[in-house]
Amino acid sequence: MATPLTATVDLVARFPDSVSADARPGYTGFIVKKENLVEVATAIRDEFGYDLLTAVTGVDYLAENKMEVVYHAYKTTGGTGLIFKVQVDRVDPVEVPSLYDIWAGVDFQEREAYDLLGIRFTGHPDLRRILMWEGYDGHPLRKDWKEPFFEEEAKPFKSRWPDGQHTFAENKNPFRDNLSFPAGFDPEAYQPENEDDLYASLERFRSKGADDALKTDHIVVNMGPHHPSTHGVLRVAITLDGETITGLKPVMGYLHRNHDKIGERNTYLQIIPYTDRLDYFNSMSNNFGYVTTVEKLMKIPVAERAEYIRVIMAELSRIQNHLIFIGMLMNDLGTMYTPSLYAFEERELVLDIFEAVSGARMMCNYFRFGGVVRDIPDFALQKIKDLVYERLPSKTDEMERFLNENEVLVARLNGMHVLNAEDAIRYSVTGPVLRAAGVPYDLRRADPYSIYDRFDFDVAVRYNGDMMDNYLIRFDEIRQSLRILEQALKQMPEGPINSQKPQYQVRVPAGEAYGRIESPKGELGFYVVSNGKPNPYRYHVRPASFVNLQAVEKMCVGAKIADFVALLAMLDIVMGELDR
Amino acid sequence: MENEKLSLPNYNIPEDLEHVVAITTIDRLYNWGRRSSVWPLMFGLACCAIEMIAAQTARYDMARFGMEVMRPTPRQADMMLVSGTVTKKMLPAIIRLYNQMPEPKYVVAMGACASSGGPFKEGYNVVAGIDKFLPVDVYIPGCPPTPQALIAGMIKLQEKIDKQSIKKVRWYQKGREDANYVPMPILGPDLIDVRRNAEIKQAAAVKEGA
Amino acid sequence: MYGKGILKGLSVTWKRFWDTYTEDISWVLRGKKRYNTTEGIAHRSSKDTKGIFTVQYPEEQLIVPEEMRYVPFLVYDEAEEGKKEVRCTSCGICAKVCPPQCIWIVRTNDPATGRPVPVPTEFYIDMDICMNCGFCAEYCPFDAIKMDHDFDIAAYDRSVYNLEKLLKPASYYASIRPENAAREDEARRAKEAAKAAKAEVKPAA
């Protein structure tokens, strides 16, 4: 873990003129000249074999008057990653060449950087705002942009103590609400932006029939944001030729809660409960990813017992997530309620453990830098053992008996193509969907974090890449998680649960870190830049759902509209994580 | 609970007619019907929606209150359970759903976010409470409220319904038709509440002067 | 045979349906009450639960673990004549550590000297912003702010709690979190004893 991430390749030797090592203290990776970015990136993919580009994000270095785009590339065979960056002057228009043609997986992430930081990616086929709406004033993550309820640069705010008279934030804003309009704005004269660009982008896959063919018109269907089976407030614009999907674009941002911006105002500790609310099914995994990243920056060890507790919680969370996935998939397929009611029953028992340990069912806020909040109480430990050794294995079997051979389900899932390995990698898809396509890429093995290298387990993998495999791989993963849990429960030592003293103000040395874990939905990454102050300079989440959703267009074009809901369910998206 | 009975308490009904005859008022009949079948709109926004689903499942079972019939269409729903963070981008859709609901309609703000923006209140894309646009009947604090807390909030809503009078409820008032219709906000440089156009124009003009 | 898988699946639902009756009957035969008893609720939340899983709130309530947290409250010690000794010293740590910054504290200043007095004049928590993270209780050095178990706080209006509404007696705290309260009392007594011992040594020296 201590080895520098760039030790594996020497990019400077290959491109002496256009690449230099990033020499800032605490930083790693390479800085690539903007003009040569596409050339270098192609070499990184083809010559050095970094086929999976996981994270793309921008950083606004206001003081240096620079904008930086950071790329994290990995190999699907495992190992450490390669970080390369592009720096451009912070003068509008800020332009960086798009890498869409090399890794299609940069699609949404480049759009996000454009939306929130105003970096234009030249050559991107569909560069529109993604989280905010067209016509929104400003790029919120720029350091000189202030939200309407802006109080101070960083928390804690001075108005809370010692003279903390309660006031509503509304009273401080000239518009008496969470609003900000440009000076001289006249709402009556305003013409809202239309969505022509969105509908135009749907035309990409439109079949160009022969001239003498019967002229038919395509219908545009908007699903969501209020739709029972889009797993939250996702909207999807679909063009249909009869019942076949010919074009599809997800529209998101309906739950964009400004996680990154709020995170940059928070102290390091204050971010932990906010991460709970990313993927709200797996708050334990989110905590895990975030504290691992910050621990990397702080260079502190984790208490031995706490490592085991973390693994136990994360794996319980994974089991619970996959059970809900199965239940919800059945809901989407029309088996209303019974399987999901059974799944929720087991979930309640897992949540009882979380509640006993952390205090809350869903928003656990359980991990701290260097360990966890408190030890597992004895009765809760007994409950975990009861579930792991007895209840969960038998209930998983029961679920399989209940569903797997059901003829209707088999007819619905078997042979229904989701993604092949090549496309999955191209679109940066990670998690069970990638593994069901035959790529045994699991971060617990490929780039072990925490203590996962101590456990004996198999990476669940299936090779057909159809819906049946995507469905069955969830059962495989539950079984493997149970295996890890059994070992963890046996090996767990006694001892302190935190290597640090409880403190609410942690010191984080300047530098950057990218931490990633295998969340139940895929790779969950956190990119944190510290400048030595109590709050992060840049805080970015690389959510699994968001990146995986890029493949949905590829998955669905050519399929029937009736299968769309099931295909979307395969990706197991969660809107809190997708929109943040 | 006293209110669950349809009959008024102070009338003596002969024992053999007890389950056949009820003496009551129209208000009580109306409220008894309303409270016993509050159908929620199947509508989840964020984290709280998961607890709302949990409240519908076997362990908490909201069906015991006549609230299990989640309607995906607003045309058949009585109650909008605003379960989660209301963002500016989502707000027009929520208002449209509310406008399509038939009266009587109730709004419950579940969790901190729906009540006031919650932990995300300072965010630039977050509406600081759905009560800025819709008349909220019950606020349930908590982040997220546990399913039991949600049910406790639903009981509060039932108690509120019990106190209503058919003559006084806002949706049957003459000249108060606007109470059931909220004009659609517009997504501009920021969220434009069209009811406040004049005020926004004035404040924006002052900003220019400053 | 087509339909075999469906029948196999239905056997699972049938077993679950059947379990509700066998389970109820077995409790009756053992002379125990399955509903409205702590034992019954505990069994329904255990690994052996089968049959009816519902805990019928509000008649029955789930057994909450000690660490369960909902919203914060302030602890006061009961002194004689119903006087409330507020533990809070208005040091402001909770207001600083609060992630959504929903705690407002007005520190008391001595009118004569103008120096701060360790007691809050006012204490506000906006319950509709609070994210129930428990940091305030975790980092309070005086055991003055704690997380409540009471979740039945739905209201017809926005909830901004002031000092008066936040205060709850130490006996209430001890009733919801007996282990924590005992541990903290013990630590505080030890600390006071050490202080007293030190004070006794000092005049002698």
How far is Cα C29 from Cα C43, in angstroms, rounded to an integer? 16
Of the three residues A122, A141, A165, the one that is the final residue of a domain is: A122
In this structure, are A488 and A342 located in the same domain? Answer: yes
Question: pLDDT at residue B25 above 90?
Answer: no
Q: List chain B residues with CB under 8 Å of C53.
A: 58-59
Mean pLDDT taken over chain B: 85
pLDDT per residue as tens digits for the range B54-76: 998 989 988 888 888 888 889 99
Neighbours of A462 (CB within 10 A): 19
Q: By the 8 A CB rule, do A276 and A283 touch?
A: yes
Mean pLDDT taken over chain A: 88
Question: pLDDT at residue A481 above 90?
Answer: yes
Beta-carbon separation of C126 and B116 below 8 A: yes
Tell me the shortest Cα–Cα distance from B60 to chain C, in angstroms. Answer: 6
In a domain, A400, yes or no: yes
Nearest to C130 among B137, B143, B155 (CB): B143
Q: List chain A residues with CB under 8 Å of B141.
A: none
Q: Compute CA distances A46 → A10, A85, A431, whole Å.
A: 15, 18, 23
Beta-carbon separation of C57 and B119 below 8 A: no
Beta-carbon separation of C9 and A156 below 8 A: no
pLDDT (0 to 100) of residue A153: 87
Tell me the shortest Cα–Cα distance from B45 to chain A, in angstroms. Answer: 6
Q: By the 8 A CB rule, do A78 and A441 touch?
A: yes
Tell me the shortest Cα–Cα distance from A227 to chain B, in angstroms. Answer: 7
How far is Cα A121 from Cα A94, in angstroms, rounded to an integer? 9
Confidence category of residue B1, pLDDT binned at 50, 70, 90: very low
Which residue numbers in chain C have pLDDT < 50?
none
How far is Cα B31 from Cα C181, in angstroms, rounded to an integer? 45
pLDDT per residue as tens digits for the range A227-238: 877 778 889 999
Question: pLDDT at residue A212 above 80?
Answer: no
Q: By the 8 A CB rule, do A320 and A289 touch?
A: no
pLDDT per residue as tens digits for the range A56-97: 999 999 988 999 999 999 998 888 888 999 999 988 888 999
Query: In chain B, which residue's Cα lies nearest the Cα of A150?
Result: B122
**% of chain A residues with pLDDT over 70:** 96
pLDDT (0 to 100) of residue A275: 92
Confidence category of residue A519, pLDDT binned at 50, 70, 90: very high
Nearest to A177 among B46, B87, B132 (CB): B132
Q: Compute CA distances C3 → A266, A339, A405, A410, B2, whole Å.
A: 57, 18, 9, 11, 50
Tell me the shortest Cα–Cα distance from A165 to chain C, in angstroms. Answer: 6
In a domain, A30, yes or no: yes
Beta-carbon separation of B142 and C152 below 8 A: no
In a domain, A235, yes or no: no
> In B167-205, which positions are buried (b, 16+ CB within 10 angstroms) versus exposed (e)?
eebeeeeeeeeeebebeebbbbbbbbbeebeeebbebbe
Confidence category of residue B174, pLDDT binned at 50, 70, 90: confident
pLDDT (0 to 100) of residue B108: 92
Which domain covers residue A73, as residue numbers?
11-122
Q: By the 8 A CB rule, do A548 and A571 touch?
A: yes
Window 171-210 of B: residues touching A by CB (8 A cutoff) are 186-194, 197, 199-201, 203-208
In a domain, A212, yes or no: no
Beta-carbon separation of C58 and B131 below 8 A: no
Tell me the shortest Cα–Cα distance from B171 to chain A, in angstroms. Answer: 25
Average pLDDT over residues B171-193: 81
Window 96-115 of B: residues touching A by CB (8 A cutoff) are 97
Beta-carbon separation of C2 and A407 below 8 A: yes
Which parts of A20-84 fold into alpha helices (H)? 37-46
Q: List chain A residues with CB under 8 Å of C45.
A: 348-349, 352
User: How many CB pairs below 8 Å do chains A and B form together?
Assistant: 176
Which of C46, C57, C63, C159 should be substituted to probe chain B, the one whose Cβ sees the most B Cβ atoms within 10 Å? C57
> In C122-143, which positions are buried (b, 16+ CB within 10 angstroms) versus exposed (e)?
bbbbbbbbbbbbbbbbbbbeeb
Average pLDDT over residues A86-109: 90
Q: Compute CA distances A547 → A148, A406, A551, B177, C132, whole Å.
A: 29, 32, 8, 46, 30
In a domain, A283, yes or no: yes
Confidence category of residue A4, pLDDT binned at 50, 70, 90: very low
Domains of chain A: total: 2
Chain CA centroid to CA B113, Å: 15
Angle between the A304-333 and A467-491 helix axes, to the nearest 10 degrees? 160
Identify residue A381 by its one-letter amino acid code. L
Phi, psi of A560 (to 5 degrees): -85, 150
Question: pLDDT at residue A16 above 60?
Answer: yes
Contacts of B122 (CB under 8 A, 6+ apart): A147, A149, A150, A151, A169, A258, A262, A265, C100
- The string of DSSP codes covering A373-423 is SSPPPHHHHHHHHIIIIIIHHHHHHHHHHHHTT-HHHHHHHTT-B---HHH
Beta-carbon separation of B85 and A257 below 8 A: yes
In a domain, A192, yes or no: no
In this structure, are A114 and A263 located in the same domain? Answer: no
Q: Domain of A110: which CATH number? A: 3.30.460.80
Tell me the shortest Cα–Cα distance from B40 to chain A, in angstroms. Answer: 13
In a domain, A177, yes or no: no
Q: By the 8 A CB rule, do A437 and A421 touch?
A: yes
Q: Pairing between strand A30-32 and A82-89? A: parallel
**% of chain A residues with pLDDT over 90:** 46
Beta-carbon separation of B120 and A133 below 8 A: no
Of the three residues A122, A144, A163, the one that is the final residue of a domain is: A122
Question: pLDDT at residue A127 above 50?
Answer: yes
How far is Cα A439 from Cα A181, in angstroms, rounded to an integer? 49
pLDDT (0 to 100) of residue A3: 40
In a domain, A389, yes or no: yes
Nearest to B149 among C99, C130, C152 (CB): C152
Nearest to C69 among A352, A360, A409 (CB): A360
pLDDT (0 to 100) of residue A215: 65
pLDDT per residue as tens digits for the range A424-446: 999 999 999 999 999 999 999 88
Q: List chain B residues with CB under 8 Å of A280.
A: 46-47, 50
Chain A touched by B64 (CB under 8 Å): no
Of the three residues A122, A154, A177, the one that is the final residue of a domain is: A122
ipTM value? 0.91
- Domain architecture of chain C: domains with CATH: 1-63 (no CATH), 72-203 (3.30.70)
pLDDT (0 to 100) of residue A514: 92
Query: In chain A, which residue's Cα lies nearest the Cα of B126?
Result: A257
- The string of DSSP codes covering A526-571 is EEEEE-SSSS-SEEEEE-HHHHHGGGHHHHHTTSBHHHHHHHHHHT
Nearest to B124 among A140, A169, A192 (CB): A140
Average pLDDT over residues A340-364: 92
Q: Domain of A467: which CATH number? A: 1.10.645.10
Nearest to A192 among B188, B203, B205 (CB): B188
Q: Pairing between strand A94-97 and A119-122? A: parallel
Beta-carbon separation of C135 and A374 below 8 A: no
Tell me the shortest Cα–Cα distance from B132 to chain A, in angstroms. Answer: 9
